Amino acid sequence: MASFTNQATLRYNGLQVNSNVVTGQTVSTVTLTKTPVGTVYGPGDTITYVISLVNSGSAAVENQTLTDDLGGYEIGGGQTAYPLAYEADSIQYYVNGVLQPAPTVTPGPPLSVTGLSVPAGGNAVLVYEARVTAAAPLTVGAQITNTVSLAGAGRTEPLTAQATVTMATGPMLTILKSLSPAVVGENGQLTYTFLIQNSGNEAAGADAAIAVSDLFNPILSNLSVTLDGQPLALTTDYTYDQGSGQFNTVPGKITVPAAVYAQDTATGNWTVTPGESTLVVTGTV
């Protein structure tokens, strides 16, 4: 909604008289909303956005341009970091529910979509995907807020709409298994090392009930098991079936600290140093 004012002037016999000032408002017949599909994100995720344009007026709205700032925010040196990037060729454009040829897209950042129209009494919907970049904040409670604006013919001021997604909270675990030595003789000693990493912003505590299971082949005997250099005890910390080679840690005995995040103030990119726990199992073949 935009306000306007104006005033008339009356001139006669070399005199000038001004009228009172009148004030009015122009009301847009188009409404703009932006909705993310899902409310959380993680590193490298793809977020789907739905842009809805509804025209309540009696005339079509044509030649409109939509821009999306892709969540851009200022970093050091007056630079802008973009936590989102348009996913190429992902856009879909519907008018009154009917799929249209793809409009012209300039990926940016910021993203720009031109040549949009909304029929009288009708609607248009844009659906597109944006990928979470290395500039997206990863700490607990972090958010990405991006704003879309609609401008074009017959519009006194742009329409805007925002959408916010929040960084997923919790551990994000991976496990890497290594073997030493790769070649072992009969009755030789074999060591399996399990590196468990947490890229998440919260620690994986006992309540996460982490458990590692492995069916050793060849079957090992005389097991020695450590977690981060500390010995684990059979039965209370892990179980092992000597007949089948089945090894299991007791759920909750392994915990993994949260990752540590740091942002490069020059590029805005975040680096992740995962939290780690190391499980080592040594036995005789």
CATH number reported for the structural domain that contains residue 218 in this entry: 2.60.40
Q: Is the pLDDT of residue 227 over 90?
A: yes
Q: Are 161 and 182 within one domain?
A: no
pLDDT digits 0-9 by tens, 106-125: 999 999 999 999 999 999 99
| pLDDT-based confidence at residue 22 (cuts at 50, 70, 90) | confident
Asked, for residue 188, whether it belongs to a domain, the answer is yes
Q: Are 201 and 272 within one domain?
A: yes
Residue 171 has what pLDDT?
95
Asked, for residue 64, whether it belongs to a domain, the answer is yes
Q: Are 234 and 141 within one domain?
A: no
Please say which residue of 142, 167, 192 terminates a domain: 167
Q: Are 135 and 264 within one domain?
A: no
Domain containing 128 equals: 29-167
- 3-state secondary structure at position 77: helix
The average pLDDT across 229-253 equals 97
Which residues contact residue 194 at a Cβ distance below 8 angstroms, ignoring those fewer than 6 apart? 175, 176, 177, 212, 278, 279, 280, 281
Please say which residue of 134, 150, 167 terminates a domain: 167
Asked, for residue 21, whether it belongs to a domain, the answer is no
Q: Are 50 and 160 within one domain?
A: yes
* Domain count across the chain: 2
Asked, for residue 20, whether it belongs to a domain, the answer is no
Residue 2 has what pLDDT?
57
Please say which residue of 144, 167, 190 terminates a domain: 167
Q: Are 186 and 93 within one domain?
A: no
- Residue 180 gets the label, from left (phi > 0), alpha (psi -120 to 50) or beta, of beta
> What whole-number distance in Å separates Cα of residue 276 and Cα of residue 262?
17
| CATH classification at residue 48 | 2.60.40.740
Asked, for residue 276, whether it belongs to a domain, the answer is yes
Residue 25 has what pLDDT?
63
| pLDDT-based confidence at residue 187 (cuts at 50, 70, 90) | confident
Q: Are 221 and 256 within one domain?
A: yes
Q: Are 101 and 219 within one domain?
A: no
Q: Are 77 and 178 within one domain?
A: no
pLDDT digits 0-9 by tens, 56-90: 999 999 999 999 999 999 997 789 999 999 999 99
Angstrom distances, CA of residue 151 to CA of 20, 53, 113, 176, 282 = 32, 12, 11, 51, 67
Q: Are 280 and 217 within one domain?
A: yes
Asked, for residue 15, whether it belongs to a domain, the answer is no
Asked, for residue 22, whether it belongs to a domain, the answer is no
Residue 57: CB atoms within 10 A of its CB come to 16
Q: Are 135 and 199 within one domain?
A: no
Q: Are 190 and 230 within one domain?
A: yes
Where is pLDDT greater, at 213 or 7?
Answer: 213
Sign of the C-alpha dihedral computed for residues 259, 202, 168 and 262 taken in this order: negative
